[in-house]
Amino acid sequence: MKKIKQIYLLSLLMALSALIHSCSFSEGKRDTSYLEEISISELGEGFRNGQFSIKKVTEDYLLRIERLDKNGPKLNSIISINPDAIKIAEALDRELAEGKERGPLHGIPVILKDNIDTKDSMPTTAGALILKHSYVGRDSKIAELLREAGAVILGKSNLSEWANFRGNLSSSGWSGVGGQTRNPYVTDRNPCGSSSGSAVAVSANLCAFAIGTETKGSIVCPSNNNGIVGLKPTVGLVSRTGIIPISFTQDTPGPMTRSVEDAAIVLGALAATDSLDSMTLTSDARFLKDYSSALDAEFLKGKRIGLLTNISGFHFKVDSLMSDVVSFLRGAGAEVVEINYPLGAGVSSASFKVMLYEFKDGLEKYFASLGDNAPVKTIEELIEFNKNDSVELKFFDQQLLEMAAQMGSLEDKEYSEALAFMQKKTREEGVDRIMNEHKLDALMAPTGGPAWKTDLINGDNFLGSSSSFAAISGYPNITVPMGFIAELPVGVSFFGRAWSEDKLLGIAYAFEQGTKQRRAPNYLNSFRFRKRK
C-alpha cells in the first residue's frame, strides 16, 4: 500500500510539474506580444544589447504558432516545425556571445514554403500526399544561404498543392498534406496562393519573415490578401535550385515581410549566382549585397510612374484606394502617367503552354533527383496515385497534371515558339517598350481585390490581378499594403525592368513610410466581421 501511495504521489507530482510547465507557456503566463510587428533590425538590436536571446525569440515564435496556428483561430499556415530550431538558436546565441555576428539575419527566425528543400528533419512535400515522407537530406540554395546568414529555419508553410498547378476549381491555400490555410483578418476568407502559409505566418507574426515562390502571382496575391509586403525578384536574381518547380522560365523565390526594409534586408542575403541555376548566370544580371541604399522617404521626388488604367473597374472600392495612392505619389513629388497597356492577345495562352511543358520537364527531373527515395518517377505515376487516394481528389481535379503529362520535350517547336512569343511580347515589345516610350521609373497597378470567401466546392473567386505583367516577363514586382476594404487589406504593386529591384524598393519604401497602411490582423470570424462592416 505504501508503495502504491508513493507511485501515486510521484505521478501526481509529475502531472503537476507538466501543468506548471504548460501554464508557463499559456497566454497569461508567457507574453509574446513583444514580437508583434517587430522588425528584423529591432530583433537584431535586441539580440546585441541583451534585451532577449535568440533562443527565447525562437521559443516564443513557436509558442505563437501553437496558439494561433494550431489552436485559437487555427490559421493552419504551418505544415511542419523544425525539431532542430531551438538547438540552432542556442548555437547562434553562443556565436553572438563570442563576438561572431553573421550579419543582419543572425538569429532571425524564418518560415520556408514547403516546396523548398531542406536537409533537416522536415520533409519537402509541395503539399502533396505523394511526398508526405520525402526527406531529401539536402539544402536548396536559398536554405543554404539563409543558414550561412544565421537565420533560424522555424518550419515550413502550407501552400496551394503543387504551387496551385494541379486542377480546376481549386481553393488557394489547400493541400492534401496541410488542409486549408485561413486568412487571419477574417478567418473564413481566403489567403490566396500559392504561398498562402508564408503570407499568413508573416501577417500573424508567427515568424520574422518568410520565403515564398511565384510563377504567376503566388507571392504578390497572398501578400495582397494578408496585408504584407511581397517581393517577386527578377527571374535569375535568386536561385531556384532545390525548389519543386513549375516553370524554369517564370519561377522565382522571394521574401515575404511586414515592411519594405525587411524585404530589402532579406533580398540582400538571397541574391547570388548559382552554378546549378543557369538563370543566375546571365550576363546582364545585377546582384547587390545591400538593397537598403534606396530606402529613402524622399525617393519619390522626380520619379515617373505609369498607372495601368486597364487594371481597374473590377472593384470600385479598390479604384477609390488607387485614387488615394495616385494623390499621395503626386504629393510626394512623383509624376503619375496614365497608360492603357493590355497584356496582349495570345500572351497568356503562350505562357500557359510554356508552363505545361516546363512543369512536366522540371517535375520529372525533381523526382529523378530524389534517387531511390522517389515515390514516383513520372507525372503519369503521380496522376495514378492521386486517383487511388481518398483525399487528393476530394475537392478538385488534376486536369493540369493530365494536360502536362501530354506535353512533349523542351525540344519541341511548339514549346520554343510559345516561349519566344511570350517573352518578346512582354519584354522588348511590352514592359521595356512602354517604359522607354514614357520615360518611366516603374509601372503600378492594384495588386488585387479583397479576399473572397474560401469555397472548397466552387474554388477561388478572383476579382482582379496585375501579376501577369511581371510574372510572364520574368521582371520584378513588389506589393505593399495600400489600405483596407472593411477589415480586409489590399495592396498596390510597383513593377518594372529586369534587375530594377533597388529602384522598386525605393519607391515602395517611400510610399509605405508616407502612408503606413499595414496593420496586424484581428482574427475575426464572419459574424464579428459583419457586425464591424
Q: Which positions are annotated as active-site residues?
A: 113, 194, 218
How far is 491 from 515, CA to CA, in rounded Å? 12
Pick the closest to residue 142 from 231, 212, 241, 263 (CA basis): 241
How far is 259 from 185, CA to CA, in rounded Å? 18
How far is 205 from 214, CA to CA, in rounded Å? 22
How far is 511 from 298, CA to CA, in rounded Å? 9
Q: Which residues contact 509 (CB under 8 A, 6 or more apart)?
A: 260, 261, 264, 294, 295, 296, 297, 299
How far is 282 from 140, CA to CA, in rounded Å? 20
Distances (CA, A) of 52 to 143, 187, 325, 496: 25, 32, 38, 40
Outline where 52-166 has alpha helix (H).
54-64, 85-97, 141-148, 161-164
List, as one string, the DSSP characters of 349-366. HHHHHHHHHHHHHHHHHH
**What is the maximum alpha-carbon separation in the chain?**
93
- Name the amino acid, one letter, at 489: P
Find where cell 496541410 sits.
178
CA torsion 268-274-278-282 (nearest 10°) is 50
Q: Which residues contact 282 (CB under 8 A, 6 or more apart)?
A: 236
Contact, 181 vs 197, CB < 8 A? yes
Give the distance from CA 249 to its chain's centroid.
Answer: 18
Distances (CA, A) of 239 to 107, 245, 299: 22, 12, 29
Contact, 138 vs 106, CB < 8 A? no
